[in-house]
Amino acid sequence: MRDLAGGFGYLLAGQRWVFRHGRWLGFGLLPGLVSLVLYTGALIGLGYGADDLTAWATPFADGWSAPWLGLFRGFLTGLVFCLGLFLAVITFTAVTLLIGQPFYESLSEQVDRTEGGAVPESGLSLGRELWISARDSLKVLGRVALYGILLFALGFIPVVGQTVVPAIGFCVSGYFLTEELTAVALQRRRTELAERLVLLRSRRMLVLGFGVPLVLAFLVPLVAVFLMPGAVAGATLMARELLGEDDTADEAAAGPDAEGADGARPQQFEPQPQQSQPPAGGGFGPPPRM
């Protein structure tokens, strides 16, 4: 539970950071607006065509009597749209980060700079960074698609498919959404996708506490756009904890005397002032006893 709260705390901390640095909030909005236009058009098209798609995919049900045909295909149409929405939530971040790679990398560097410690740079060209980001995003998308197909199939199970499966879907979405966001900071540290996944698995509850509320918020398109800069900032803060950089920065700031040889913090002794007899008949306070 502490890690869940901690993940949500990083999400809030990222939003606070961008609102304290208003220039970076405006800086990070443009890629999200471009992605919003693209995804809105795609989802509108899916909404109009999902019923035709399910009718094409289920020709065996053409001869079914009412109301079973309508209920069956209506249920499938809903599942198709939910699957499309599920994929849109996951890929929205990847596409937005790809479009806004220079914007979000600069934002992440600024977060590192304001929080103290090193400000890592990948040293790669922009083209190389875009290629690595696109390649890793496709790998993540492949994993998400496998989970999506599995959850889509489980959605046919009565009751479970309408309760447990959507909850699992949000957790899967939140996990991989967090991976995409932390990748901005971790790629600058030359951390490969496999290593990033190991880091995230080591703190699953922290990751879900960050990602699941963000997925729920991203279901509202305009909210997704305005939360993206803060989400990148919060993911950078969380990446620093995952790598232990905050602890290192704290120890460095404390100086070499902060810890002893055995790792324990040494005791600090303050010299005690010497007691002196006040002069007789003078100074402040009561006169000395005779």
Least confident of 26-35, 110-119, 183-192, 264-273: 264-273
What is the spatial distance between Cα 168 and Cα 280, in angstroms, rounded to a whole number? 83
pLDDT of res. 277: 47
Half-sphere exposure of 70 (CA within 13 A, CB side): 2
* pLDDT at residue 80 is higher than 60: yes
What is the spatial distance between Cα 33 and Cα 126, in angstroms, rounded to a whole number? 22
To the nearest 10°, the Cα dihedral for 217, 204, 137, 155? -70
What is the spatial distance between Cα 237 and Cα 157, in angstroms, rounded to a whole number? 40
More confident residue, 249 or 184: 184
What is the spatial distance between Cα 73 and Cα 64, in angstroms, rounded to a whole number? 11
* pLDDT at residue 96 is higher than 50: yes
165-219: pLDDT as tens digits = 888 988 998 999 899 899 989 988 888 889 999 999 999 999 999 999 998 888 7
pLDDT of res. 11: 93
- Assign 283 a pLDDT band (cuts: 50, 70, 90): very low
* pLDDT at residue 262 is higher than 70: no
Neighbour-count burial for 221-250, b at 16+ CB within 10 Å, e otherwise = beebbbbbbbbbbbbbbbbbebbebeeebe
**Highest mean pLDDT out of 2-16, 18-32, 155-169:** 2-16
- Assign 156 a pLDDT band (cuts: 50, 70, 90): confident
Mean pLDDT confidence for 245-262: 46
| Strand locations in the chain (E) | none
* pLDDT at residue 234 is higher than 90: yes
* pLDDT at residue 269 is higher than 50: no
Number of Cβ atoms within 10 Å of the Cβ of 5: 11
pLDDT of res. 53: 82
First to last CA, the chain: 67
Q: Closest by alpha carbon to 94, among 131, 126, 137, 136?
A: 137
Half-sphere exposure of 172 (CA within 13 A, CB side): 23
pLDDT of res. 252: 39
59-71: pLDDT as tens digits = 887 778 778 877 8
